Structure 1
Amino acid sequence: MTTKTGLITDSFKVVKTEKRRKKREKSPSPPPVQKEAEGETVCGKELNKLTQFDLDWRFGPCTGISRLQRWERAKLHGLNPPEDIKELLLQTHTDPEYTQSLWSEYPL
């Protein structure tokens, strides 16, 4: 008995598809990100400051209460929250974008 030894590719037909023949087209690159620090508005700077206050764990959790309530609670417990945050919150106490914390939209 003689056995035929060869490559496995000898017994299977090679099928080439169009995808292999065509070169992949490059997708257009996204536009470069522009730095907003230079052209940032006063409103944007204030909201950024308040967001940083929300993200600062030293002043306790901020879910379920307003930013001013969180600031007052931190002051009551001697955590020394920034005074400029309180001034900003008192100036803009009617705007919910300023008064509510970053996670106010999420259910408890």
Structure 2
Amino acid sequence: MNQQNKFHLRTETTKGRCTVYVSGEFDLEVAGQMRAAMAPLIELTDRELALNLRDLKYIDSTGIGILVSMLKARHANNAAFIVEAIPPSIRKLFDMTGITPFLTRQA
């Protein structure tokens, strides 16, 4: 995997919002890293949780499954979760799987 496609997370937290910037390739190889990074953030129910996918190059079914599990966990906690800045190629995949409406609305 070249450096441009390497998976990377960067988090910005403010009083009312936690934004996680996801870049590179989100696939089975990095699933554990993503789960570990997101687990404590899922529990922060006092603020909105947003994933910014502007620099995401690729996502596989494992990555989509993790997004859905995050959505379910946030919904169970009655906490806001949105996915923003979805690249067109990724949005097309989300549209095909039918998850776009759930990822782009607030809890």
Normalising by structure 2, report the TM-score: 0.27
Kindly indicate which of the two structures has a greater share of residues assigned to strand: 2
| TM-score normalised per structure 1 | 0.26
